[in-house]
Amino acid sequence: MTSYDVLGIGNAIVDVISHADEAFLQKHTLTKGSMMLIDEARAETLYAAMGSGVEVSGGSCGNTMAGIASLGGKGAYIGKVKQDQLGAVFSHDLKAIGVAFDTPQATSGPSTARCLILVTPDAQRTMNTYLGACTGLGPGDIDTKLVAAAQVTYVEGYLWDEPEAKKAVLKAFDAAHAAGRLVSITLSDSFCVDRYRDEFRALIRDKIDILFGNEAEIKSLYQVDSFEKALEATRKEGKIAALTRSEKGSVVIKGSETHAVPAAPITKLVDTTGAGDLYASGFLYGFTRGKPLAECARLGGVAAAEIISHVGPRPETPLRDLI
């Protein structure tokens, strides 16, 4: 018997979301649809140039955990904020939705992480992350009893950008497997895959039980030019993989099984921020309840559809009402 369905480990980030046009992205040499790491000085310059914003708790894995709680699942989260106003916001928003979050807050050093998100008229998001206090996350923050108490430990590939965070993840994965639990990762971003391709491939082969990625990420991982080739390369790893394809829905594979599930219908595409994160929420919620893989994929699609119909990466409608 476990206490949690999913334990998430991620970069604890507050999003600053603003609308921008294509010219703004060009002027500031931003690559549309990607996540770019920026330092504090760049964060200040970019923020000063951006329009008025909305602040909302974010962080890929934080969004996933909020989604699991919104579905009615039990989640816990490990991530590092500073003891400052934005840290209080991030912490409140996770706890308020019912996610256990007790990682000690940093009392000195850089401030709570911010992600400056520009949403273009095509609803695509371009992310610029100042990691701040996240860089303080390390193996000491991993409570192995908490890991053992969760059916699945789920992490974001973005954590590979900080060596100590990576060590924290590997410690958690070992603790999970020692307790007979499963571990899962999202590839996060095709540029992130580019930075850590070899490590990710070794990690998937050696440790991962459930892999999440989108079409661009999985093609980048195996350096192939079609989704079909990427699918077959993934299949050879012998793990469960849930691969998302935007409006084409998702494909889940396990051994020789393949489940292609269409996307949930949406009335209006407003902001794609959090789509992949919420897909993982729905999938893992279903998975930890023993649902068939195709049903896990459907739940992922429903959660993703809610998130892209409004600004911001956290559910506005209780997801349990939608499934």
| Residues that bind a second copy in the complex, under the rule CB under 8 A | 16, 18-19, 47-48, 50-57, 66, 84-86, 89, 92-94, 96-97, 111-112, 311-312, 314, 316
| 56/68 with CB nearer a second copy | 56
Q: Give the shortest CB-83-to-a second copy separation in angstroms.
A: 12
CB 204 within 8 A of CB 233: no
The span from the CA of 159 to the CA of 13, in Å, is 12
The span from the CA of 127 to the CA of 291, in Å, is 33
Q: Give the shortest CB-38-to-a second copy separation in angstroms.
A: 16
Here the tokens at position 292 are: 């068939």
Q: Give the shortest CB-93-to-a second copy separation in angstroms.
A: 4
| 94/296 with CB nearer a second copy | 94
The span from the CA of 62 to the CA of 312, in Å, is 13
Here the tokens at position 2 are: 């476990």
Q: Give the shortest CB-81-to-a second copy separation in angstroms.
A: 12
Q: Give the shortest CB-111-to-a second copy separation in angstroms.
A: 7
Question: How remote is the C-alpha of 126 from its chain's centroid?
Answer: 15
CB 158 within 8 A of CB 8: no
| 62/157 with CB nearer a second copy | 62
The span from the CA of 277 to the CA of 94, in Å, is 15
DSSP 320: G
Q: Give the shortest CB-249-to-a second copy separation in angstroms.
A: 28
Q: CB-based contacts of 99: which residues, under 8 Å, 6+ apart?
A: 65, 66, 68, 69, 75, 76, 77
| 57/273 with CB nearer a second copy | 57
| 94/263 with CB nearer a second copy | 94
Q: Give the shortest CB-195-to-a second copy separation in angstroms.
A: 29
| 86/155 with CB nearer a second copy | 86
The span from the CA of 281 to the CA of 244, in Å, is 13
| 114/298 with CB nearer a second copy | 114
The span from the CA of 275 to the CA of 153, in Å, is 20
